[in-house]
Structure 1
Amino acid sequence: MECTIRPALEDDADEISAVILGALRETNAKDYANEIIERIEHSFSPSAVLQLIGKGTVFVATIGSRVVGTASLDGSVVRTVFVAPDVQARGIGKLLMAEIERTARERNIPMLAVPSSVTAEAFYARLGFRAVRDSYHGDERTIIMERLMDDPL
């Protein structure tokens, strides 16, 4: 499995949306109520993803020509890290995060923060992020995690 990380293109919006929606419905649905998943889905329609690509730093992971993952950097905040359910646990999320960290270092960002889902908390912890507080949007729990860029992995 040859996985490549590259900047997202506008033409990727439909595939990125499909990856995110698939991960929400299959992976995150184990930790969140259906109403929460449905509410979050609206933020990741193809048109919403197209707007994200236009205003931020968005990366995609590809295997061949297929988009299998995405991650973005908004200032010093890591956002929208998702991997297609059928290729999860193969290091794709770690590759995406390595690209986010490389970009952050290039921009002299001293610390990264990530609003982690309950589902992804252990993933970020393995990458050196530490939980600093919980945040709630209604009944949706998010764990705010941080990592100093000079902390070794």
Structure 2
Amino acid sequence: MSNQIRLATLQDAAAISQVIIQSLRHSNAQDYTPDIIAQVEKSFSTECILTLMGQRQVFVATIAHQVVATASLDRDVVRSVFVSPAHQGIGLGRKLMATLQAVANDANIDVLRVPSSITAEGFYVKLGFRKVRDEFHGAERTIIMELRLSPD
């Protein structure tokens, strides 16, 4: 079962949307109410993904040419890291994050930031990110985290 990390193409938008929505409904639903999940899902329709692809560097992980995970980099901010529920726990999220880190290093970015869900906080901690603060968007809690890429 070979996997590949690559830049997303416009043809990937529907698959990216599907991965994100499946992950929200399966994984994030453990930490957020159905109303919050439904609200967040609206930001990840195929049309919204196409718009985001024009604003960020979007990467996908594929297995047998099927998109099973995604992550993006918006300058120094990691965004939208999601792995389909059927493929969680096999290292695809870590591989995507390593790719984003390499891109950030090449761009001379000193600090990576991520607005983490409650669900993903432990994942980012394992990668060396540290919590900076909590933010609330209505009832939705987001944990702002950062990782220093270069020494002070």
Query: Is TM (by shorter chain) over 0.5?
Result: yes
Secondary structure at 1:55's aligned position in 2?
A: coil
In the TM superposition, residue 150 of structure 1 has moved relative to its aligned partner by 2.7
**Alignment-derived partner of residue 102 in structure 1:** 102
Moved over 6 A (4+): none
Q: Give the equivalent residue in structure 1 for 2:54.
A: 54
* Unmatched 5+ stretches in structure 1: none
Aligned equivalent of 1:72: 72
- Output the amino acid matched with 2:84: A
2:87 match:
87
Give unpaired runs (5+ residues) of structure 2.
none
Alignment partner of 1:26 is 2:9: no
Corresponding residue of 1:137? 137
Shift of 1:2: 1.6
- CA distance, structure 2, for counterparts of residue 127 and residue 36 of structure 1: 26
Deviation per CA, 1:52-102, whole angstroms, max 9, x where unpaired?
Answer: 112210000000110000000001000000000000010000000000000
Counterpart in the other structure of 1:38: 38
Q: What residue is the counterpart of 2:119 in the other structure?
A: 119
Equivalent-residue separation in structure 2 for 1:112 and 1:56 (angstroms): 14
Corresponding residue number in structure 1 for 2:149: 149
User: How many Å separate the matches in 2 of 1:150 and 1:128?
Assistant: 13
Between the aligned partners of 1:53 and 1:77, the Cα distance in structure 2 is: 14
Matched, 1:17 2:22: no
